[in-house]
Amino acid sequence: MPEYILTAAQLEQLKAQVRVYKQLATQEPVAQSLISSSVSKPSLLPEPYEFPGETETGEKLPYDLMKILTLHQQRANRSTLLPPPCGIDPQAILREREFRIQNRIGARIRFLSNLPASLSRHLLTKAEIELRALRLLSLQTQVRMEVLNQLKKDTTLETALNPYAYRRTKRQTLREARVTEKLEKQQKVEQERRRRQKHNDLLQAILQHGKEFKEYHRNNLVKQSKIKKAVLTYHANSEKERKKDELRNERMRMQKLMQEDEEGYRQLLDEKKDKRLVFLLQQTDEYVESLTGLVKQHQATEKRRKRNERREQKAKEKMEEGNELSEVRIRIRDVATGELLSAEEMPKSEEVDSWLEAHPGYEVKITFPMFDVAV
């Protein structure tokens, strides 16, 4: 028996088929990717390549059309004795579909029944609603089938096409015609009355709107006139108050000036922010300061001049006193006898020291009004 070696692709396909079989055996839903990997078949088309030519739209062809045509001709001319395969049975497909749906519903019911209790209340409520809906699915299908069967029995072809075919027509009598005509007349009269009433209401609304419009603008004019008067009165009162304030401030400034209260006067100017008076006051202060400086400078000059004059006067007086003292005779007394020298023998003031050195035993006698003292 020859040995077959599986390729990697065939081995992966075999593993996918085994996983699909296990899931189907446990009636679990199978993923679409797993199904496609388990039933994939190798392509019989030749390998694609880049065709040098292009189509009318500019796109490149992925295959060589001549090779594909040859392949189709070979399949068409192939002769075989085997019968052709039978077609797909739609009923079988539907049964398989229903079977798969039932398996998925059962798997979903088991999954929802085994949910852990640690989930949030919202998720548990949502899962409970879905579980009860799935459990009632068979009952819903049965009720739907019973309703459809009953409708099929009660409905015929003619009634289905024309539901008014067997309706009885009502015969109209003369009395009913008169009543109908009377009702029509009443309806027309009522419609005309409503139309006229609506027209009258519209006219009344227009007139009322005109009155309200005039009244509104009249009130606006009155309000505007009142506002104008109030504004004029306000400005007149403001002007009067301003003039009163100016007069009061002027009187207060004059009072401060009369009281020679410079600080109060400056404070009033700062409060009222009178720039003109502040500027004049600043110029006055500067002028006064300049005058004060000139006066101080003049006083200092006069002081220096008087001081110099006094010094010169004192110097002259000292010189005169010195001249007078130089001519004065100093009284000299003999220490031993106490006799005074005669006026001719008395030395001058400037010669006293030298005379006393030359004549020892003599001393100068100083005379005070109360007593005499010998030096």
Q: Encoding tokens for residue 235? A: 């400005």
- pLDDT score of 273: 61
Write the burial class of residue 332 (CB in 10 Å: 0-12 exposed, 13-18 middle, 19+ buried): buried
Determine whether 109 is exposed, middle or buried from the number of CB atoms within 10 Å of its CB (0-12, 13-18, 19+): middle
> In the numeric block, which tokens belong to residue 262?
């410079």
Parse the chain into domains and list their residue ranges: 185-266, 286-327, 328-375
Encode pLDDT of 297-314 as tens digits: 888 888 888 888 888 887
Cβ atoms of 363 and 333 closer than 8 Å: yes
Tokens of 80: 């075989």
Number of C-beta neighbours around residue 347 at 10 A? 20
- Three-state secondary-structure class, residue 280: helix
Report if pTM > 0.85: no
Measured distance CA(88)–CA(18) in Å, rounded: 25
Which CATH number describes the domain made up of 328-375? 3.40.5.120
Q: Taking residues 116-141, what's their average pLDDT?
A: 90
Q: Taking each helix axis from N to C terminus, what angle separates 137-154 and 121-135, rounded to the nearest 10 degrees?
A: 40
Considering only residues 10 and 334, tell me which one the structure prediction assigns the higher pLDDT: 10
User: How far apart, in whole angstroms, are the C-alpha atoms of residue 13 and residue 39?
Assistant: 7
Which SS3 state, helix, strand or coil, does residue 365 take? strand
Residue whose pair of structure tokens reads 């005109």 in the numeric block: 210
- Taking only the tens place, the pLDDT of each residue in 335-357 is 777 677 776 667 766 677 777 77
Give residue 255's Cα distance to chain centre: 57
Of the candidates 91, 96, 133, the residue with the CA atom closest to the CA atom of residue 112: 133
Least confident residue range of 49-58, 127-136, 163-172: 49-58
Taking the mean position of all CA atoms in its chain, how far away is CA 290? Answer: 60
307 or 361: which leads in pLDDT: 307
Cβ neighbours, 10 Å, residue 100: 14
Closest CA to 11 of 33, 32, 40: 40
